[in-house]
Structure 1
Amino acid sequence: MCLTAPNRRRVETSTMGDRHSAQPCSVTLFLIEFVLLGLVFAALPRISGTTDASDGFQALQVMYTSVNSPPQLTNWKSSGGDPCGESWKGVTCEGTAVVAIEVSGLGLSGTTGYLLSDLLSLRKFDLSDNSFHDTIPYQLPPNLTSLNLARNNFSGNFPYSISTMVSLNYLNVSHNSLSESIGDIFATLGSLATLDLSLNNFSGDIPASFSSLSNLSALYVQNNQLTGSLNALTGLPLTTLNVANNHFSGWIPRELSSVHTFIYDGNSFDNGPAPPPPPYNPPPPGRPSRNHSGPGTRPQRTDGKSSESKKGLTVGALVGIIVGSVFVALILLLALFFCIRKNKREGSVARPSSGGLSVGTNNVNTEMQEQRVKSASAVTDLKPPPAEILVVDRLHGKNGSIKRIKSPITATPYTVATLQTATNSFSQEFLVGEGSLGRVYRAEFPNGKMMAIKKIDNAALSLQEEDNFLEAVSNMSRLRHPNIVTLVGYCAEHGQRLLVYEYIGNGSLHDILHFAEDGTNTLTWNARVRVALGTARALEYLHEVCLPSVVHRNFKSANILLDEELNAHLSDCGLAALTPNTERQVSTQMVGSFGYSAPEFALSGVYTVKSDVYSFGVVMLELLTGRKPLDSARARSEQSLVRWATPQLHDIDALAKMVDPSLNGMYPAKSLSRFADIIALCVQPEPEFRPPMSEVVQALVRLVQRASMVKRRSSDESGFAYRTPDHEAIDMSF
């Protein structure tokens, strides 16, 4: 039996009590036991969940040691220290209680430690996008509302202790190596709203306890080895359900046809609508029979009810049938009466012909056919989001996609007068940039809030399509990702169209790379890798999480904004929907003139997610070399960054000479080589050979992990020299 620290204290207390009663009571022994008991009672606030300055701190110290004390966990300590008073990275406190641990995407590896159950006040626990391995800890923080372990290397199966987390609202263990059956442990998790088990190796049937998840709105179990039916899901309030690429069979329950986003391809379901449940019901036991004594009339019930009760049921059934028939007849008479009155009001001169009746019948048949189509339809596949997904109306698309009701706009509407006041009538002093669709202004509101206003140029966009603008605003406002600039408001008034974004105040990547003359804003190598990883995650979200995929179309370093901590935020996401298709030449100049456009776009105007991948590779080249994509001031052979750099990406000596001189050789040589290999994959001329962004993200995550390991092993700057004699082959097996 495994005991936690509080349980061990209780065992020691009871043992002392027994020893005390078994031996003579001397004064010295009494004083010792009195002191020890006082210490036990002093620890009781921790046992009862009333936190103090040391509540759960030991669990954090053990966790820090278990992940090999990485430097990215700034201010953490393996002994001593105060997580709340010293602002340990990723740790949030309320008073002296640790309520959240969020260390997503920090390149952590190792295990989580064995004292997590001591974190009694912890509500949010996010270890996603790291390399934690081994099994999920058996004893987890018991009072969590959100648990995110996605994109790690956890193996084994679900710990049973999850069944005790009655406050759990969000659970994500996707993209791991969990196996065996899911486990029938969900009966007490009535608060769970989102459950993501996708991309693991779970097998067996869906647990029967899933039927107890009365608040579950989103369930993702795609890409596992699950079998059986979906019957356990029929009574749940689901709005999103993804069961694709498993081994489910049988009929898809009719109840699931009403789920807003339902993805089920890649299974072995029977074709057509499910039969009515149940297909054949036996006649009720009280139904009269013509041959009561025949062998075929042997009663099916064994409940011991007498024949008199059966007769009573028969009489009741007859009375019900008679009353029901009378009621139906009255309804029909009333309907006929109202139809006659309606025809009279409409001034009908002639009696309705059979042709008029056939029109109505056709309408009814058409509606019934539409209903049948809706029942058997599903939307195309998508990967689960770490955040909210984008759903756009579609009609009879791939895999029977069906038309959805348009989503309302979640962004805040602003008036022109309000935005004029906040920007001093869009004065020059508030101008912060200019894009393809118009200028961007800094806005200062009376409450002290600062925003960025994109004032769309009337010449860049047709003002006759108001609905298209509002639909684009609706879709953009639903893009939710930490590396994407959030659209918080809009204005469509008096012929003006403006977009209100969160304000990112540290400038763009383009300005920092190319216009930092004093050198104070020079990005370190680690910062550049983090920028690449952040923007890669933003594109991964747009391409592989949103439905349908969102193509950026204008990906460049000027659209990557950096905050005070140099975190990347991709701007102008979704703006491509506002660019008219007739403006191909303008659009080609917009992207191509800056050297970011993929070959297929420059030649034919065709732009896809793979074109975004190419543009991302160009930005990575900017990060590596510090050069602009096109620079007419350089020698002719070096004006195009891609043409100049691509042949040298696999030559270690040439690569060392390409590196941005402002780095002064301060980077890990192996990290540089792996970075260059990712670039080479992204800027390939053939779109089909470029990797998806999810694979680019994983490659960059591995690069960050290896770089941090090199830094921890280095006691001086020798690990950052750009020349190493033993250049090894790079493992880029996506």
Structure 2
Amino acid sequence: MLSRNMKVVYLLCVLISLQSRVESDRQGDALYDMKIKLNATSNQLIDWNQNQVNPCTWNSVICDSNNNVVQVTLSSMGFNGILSPRIGELQYLTVLSLPGNNITGGIPEQFGNLSSLTNLDLEINRLSGEIPASLGKLAKLQILILSQNNLTGKIPDSLTNLTALNDIRLAFNGLSGQIPDELFQVARYNFTGNDLNCGTNQQHLCASSVSVQGKSPNSKIGIVLGIVGGVILLLVIGVVFLICKSRRKGYRREEFVDVAGEDDRRIAFGQLKRFAYRELQIATDGFSEKNVLGQGGFGKVYKGVLPDSTKIAVKRLTDYESPGGEAAFLREVEMISVAVHRNLLRLIGFCTTPTERLLVYPFMQNLSVAYRLRDFKPGEPVLNWPTRKRVALGTARGLEYLHEHCSPKIIHRDVKAANVLLDEDFEAVVGDFGLAKLVDVRKTSVTTQVRGTMGHIAPEYLSTGKSSERTDVFGYGIMLLELVTGQRAIDFSRLEEEDDVLLLDHVKKLQKEKRLGDIVDRNLNNEYDGQEVEMMIQVALLCTQASPEDRPTMSEVVRMLEGEGLAERWEEWQQVEVRQEYERLQRRFDWGEDSLYNQDAIELSGAR
């Protein structure tokens, strides 16, 4: 039995763990209530799902390193509901930005509980009622924007307590009464469009000189002169540049200038960081070959370290000038705004120069599943069976999110063990969206070029060039077989044993012969649950059926891996297999196994 002191320590650990979980759940509940109160439509905030993931993975939500929600930005979404009082529970929130919507009702008093808030922007809505005096408790508030609403009443005197305030805009409401003199000391203010007295005896202008509205004639003249002066300065700089260039004719050195390309104007930067080329050059030791983590269809991936000791992986696109390469870059950058999930690789930022396109990801400490299955070094740990089960489920959840929770949905098109990475806890993270395809339901999904890796590509994709979610399901099924066997999808060494080159055919044959022990990866040293292995093989074979219509969806795969519905689905599959095998035997019988026609057919289809 545990001693009394040990029991106390254990109890404290449990309470701390529970508190952390409750905190996460409480934030998620508050945000979900916010979604409901705002009357978000079925196509809005799709991933704000209580049962989906931690709120830190939700779109438009930013968290700090401790998984505390610190920013919520929902601009011009068309919401027509009200503000949820539960927003006041987000004690770590620093930015709440909801401009350009049609939100009605009042500003909840509970907003005064947002002790960490520095920026509150509710501009261009239809908010009514008075400005709550509780906002005066927001000691860290620097920006308060409530312009173009239907707010009434007086400006609360409590706002004079906001010593950190440097921007207050309350223009074009129905406010009345006296404006506290202290608010005219704020660097930027705008009270125009109200029935307000601008200071004692109206000695103040209703808008500061740095405000967008209410510029004086002198300020307009200054702007014009500034523009003219700027144009003249640019002309002078241009002439000097041409003179210098002519003097240096014939001399050329390598230069790296961070200039945005023409296509970059289409990129919504969102939460991504734009890196300078020099930053990434230093981080990767000049893109040294010793830092190469791998090489794909569009270029190499390098390990790097930023000045703050953050480890990164830099994907350097070598053929970006080709249509495929440039499209891959733009596609990966664009998808960050819609694909945010704990089992998907997060894009940190990017870099563009006239000659470079680079993508920056967090470094995955345990590399890829393929590496851990086949290429690991002596002394490194082998993926045990429980970890392989977690990888299977995590990968399935990531793909389920791409297929069913993104709008528009995303097809990966190259699902394989090499593209599933492992974080420091050996949790699966689906990576390499360079081959992924954003699917607009209004357009065809027929492509002019088949992308992917042989052995993982679904048969209908090879024959028609048409991809769908079910092509990903096929690739996922092959990846499950890689997890179970530790082998490659295509392995010509198996020919030496007169076996099948394709892993799928190899496993099917052994499964029919009930040779489970010959299927499982020998590196597991028989340390696995036979029933669980059999279940995973069954799921894999269901995912790799020849007809895409017969394959399960990824949400069905998740449920089967969790133990729901597999038995029924497997029984149906076996009946289909028996029927197809009977039809194959019937055709062989009808042709005649020893007929001349059949022998010629075998000869024409054989290897030459």
TM-score (structure 2 length as normaliser): 0.51
CA displacement, residues 380-430 of structure 1 (integer Å, 9 cap, x when unaligned)? xxxxxxxxxxxxxxxxxxxxxxxxx98543210011111111111101111
* Deviation at residue 645 of structure 1 after TM alignment: 1.4
CA displacement, residues 236-271 of structure 1 (integer Å, 9 cap, x when unaligned)? 99xxxxxxxxxxxxxxxxx99xxxxxxxxxxxxxxx
Is 1:599 matched up with 2:470?
Answer: no
Question: In the alignment, which of 304, 308, 315 is matched to residue 447 of structure 1?
Answer: 308
Question: In the alignment, which of 280, 287, 298 is matched to residue 419 of structure 1?
Answer: 280
Q: Structure 1 residues 406-415 or 428-437, which shifts more?
A: 406-415
Q: How does 1:148-547 map to 2 (within 5 A)?
A: 213=84, 407-458=268-319, 461-462=322-323, 469-470=329-330, 472-516=332-376, 518=378, 520-547=380-407
Alignment match, 2:540: 679
Distance 1:406 1:491, change over 3 A: closer
CA displacement, residues 20-53 of structure 1 (integer Å, 9 cap, x when unaligned)? xxxxxxxxxxxxxxxxxxxxxxxxxxxxxxxxxx
* Deviation at residue 729 of structure 1 after TM alignment: 6.4
* Deviation at residue 573 of structure 1 after TM alignment: 2.7
Q: Any idea what SS the aligned residue of 1:419 has?
A: helix
Distance 1:446 1:173, change over 3 A: closer
Q: Any idea what SS the aligned residue of 1:671 has?
A: helix
Is 1:644 matched up with 2:506?
Answer: yes
Q: Matches of 2:408 and 2:307 in 1, distance apart?
A: 38
Q: Matches of 2:324 and 2:456 in 1, distance apart?
A: 29
Question: In the alignment, which of 13, 28, 33 is matched to residue 146 of structure 1?
Answer: 28
Q: Matches of 2:551 and 2:487 in 1, distance apart?
A: 23
1:411, 1:474 within 8 Å by CA — same for their partners in 2? no
Distance 1:99 1:487, change over 3 A: same
Is 1:696 matched up with 2:596?
Answer: no
Alignment match, 2:493: 633
Q: How does 1:523-672 map to 2 (within 5 A)?
A: 523-573=383-433, 575-577=435-437, 588=450, 591-593=452-454, 595-635=455-495, 636-649=498-511, 653-672=514-533
* Deviation at residue 147 of structure 1 after TM alignment: 4.3
Q: Matches of 1:464 and 1:434 in 2, distance apart?
A: 14
2:542, 2:551 within 8 Å by CA — same for their partners in 1? yes
* Deviation at residue 556 of structure 1 after TM alignment: 1.1
* Deviation at residue 666 of structure 1 after TM alignment: 1.7
1:410, 1:474 within 8 Å by CA — same for their partners in 2? no
* Deviation at residue 484 of structure 1 after TM alignment: 1.1
Q: Any idea what SS the aligned residue of 1:99 has?
A: helix
Distance 1:460 1:670, change over 3 A: farther
Alignment match, 2:37: none
Distance 1:92 1:730, change over 3 A: farther
Q: Any idea what SS the aligned residue of 2:492 has?
A: coil
Q: Matches of 1:608 and 1:519 in 2, distance apart?
A: 41
Q: Matches of 1:416 and 1:514 in 2, distance apart?
A: 34
Distance 1:575 1:410, change over 3 A: farther
Alignment match, 2:24: 124
Distance 1:517 1:625, change over 3 A: same
Distance 1:477 1:439, change over 3 A: farther
* Deviation at residue 502 of structure 1 after TM alignment: 0.7
Alignment match, 1:99: 19
* Deviation at residue 469 of structure 1 after TM alignment: 4.2
Q: Matches of 1:485 and 1:494 in 2, distance apart?
A: 27
1:437, 1:461 within 8 Å by CA — same for their partners in 2? no
Larger radius of gyration, structure 1 or 2? 1
1:442, 1:452 within 8 Å by CA — same for their partners in 2? yes
Amino acid at match of 1:124: S
Q: Any idea what SS the aligned residue of 2:316 has?
A: strand
* Deviation at residue 475 of structure 1 after TM alignment: 2.2
Distance 1:525 1:730, change over 3 A: farther
Q: How does 1:60-75 map to 2 (within 5 A)?
A: none
1:508, 1:562 within 8 Å by CA — same for their partners in 2? yes
Q: Matches of 2:435 and 2:501 in 1, distance apart?
A: 29
* Deviation at residue 514 of structure 1 after TM alignment: 1.3
Q: Matches of 1:475 and 1:453 in 2, distance apart?
A: 17
Q: Matches of 1:615 and 1:512 in 2, distance apart?
A: 19
* Deviation at residue 638 of structure 1 after TM alignment: 2.3
Alignment match, 1:31: none
2:410, 2:437 within 8 Å by CA — same for their partners in 1? no
Structure 1, unpaired ranges of 5+: 1-74, 102-121, 126-143, 151-169, 176-190, 195-209, 217-232, 238-254, 257-404, 707-727
* Deviation at residue 507 of structure 1 after TM alignment: 1.6
Amino acid at match of 1:146: G
Q: Structure 1 residues 640-649 or 553-562, which shifts more?
A: 640-649
* Deviation at residue 437 of structure 1 after TM alignment: 0.9
2:329, 2:434 within 8 Å by CA — same for their partners in 1? no
Q: Any idea what SS the aligned residue of 1:447 has?
A: coil
Distance 1:234 1:83, change over 3 A: farther
Amino acid at match of 2:334: S
CA displacement, residues 60-109 of structure 1 (integer Å, 9 cap, x when unaligned)? xxxxxxxxxxxxxxx9x9x92535975x6xx756xxxx6312xxxxxxxx
Question: In the alignment, which of 9, 28, 42 is matched to residue 82 of structure 1?
Answer: 9
Distance 1:421 1:541, change over 3 A: same
Amino acid at match of 2:7: G
Q: Matches of 1:465 and 1:498 in 2, distance apart?
A: 11
Amino acid at match of 1:571: G
Q: Matches of 2:19 and 2:332 in 1, distance apart?
A: 37
The alignment covers a number of residue pairs equal to 356
Distance 1:546 1:459, change over 3 A: closer
Q: Matches of 2:379 and 2:85 in 1, distance apart?
A: 57
Amino acid at match of 1:536: A
1:409, 1:474 within 8 Å by CA — same for their partners in 2? no
1:555, 1:615 within 8 Å by CA — same for their partners in 2? yes
Q: Matches of 1:495 and 1:644 in 2, distance apart?
A: 46
Distance 1:729 1:487, change over 3 A: closer
Distance 1:471 1:693, change over 3 A: closer
Q: Matches of 1:477 and 1:622 in 2, distance apart?
A: 31
Q: Any idea what SS the aligned residue of 1:440 has?
A: strand
Q: Any idea what SS the aligned residue of 2:336 has?
A: helix
Percent of aligned positions with the same letter in both sequences? 30
Q: Matches of 1:660 and 1:730 in 2, distance apart?
A: 27
* Deviation at residue 434 of structure 1 after TM alignment: 0.5
CA displacement, residues 469-492 of structure 1 (integer Å, 9 cap, x when unaligned)? 446413225421111111000011
CA displacement, residues 131-157 of structure 1 (integer Å, 9 cap, x when unaligned)? xxxxxxxxxxxxx33349x9xxxxxxx
Q: How does 1:1-40 map to 2 (within 5 A)?
A: none
2:343, 2:430 within 8 Å by CA — same for their partners in 1? yes
Amino acid at match of 2:520: V
Q: Matches of 1:624 and 1:698 in 2, distance apart?
A: 19
1:477, 1:488 within 8 Å by CA — same for their partners in 2? no
Q: Matches of 1:171 and 1:426 in 2, distance apart?
A: 39
* Deviation at residue 565 of structure 1 after TM alignment: 2.0
2:374, 2:486 within 8 Å by CA — same for their partners in 1? yes
1:624, 1:659 within 8 Å by CA — same for their partners in 2? yes
Distance 1:174 1:522, change over 3 A: closer
Distance 1:498 1:211, change over 3 A: closer
1:415, 1:491 within 8 Å by CA — same for their partners in 2? yes
TM-score (structure 1 length as normaliser): 0.43
Distance 1:575 1:235, change over 3 A: farther
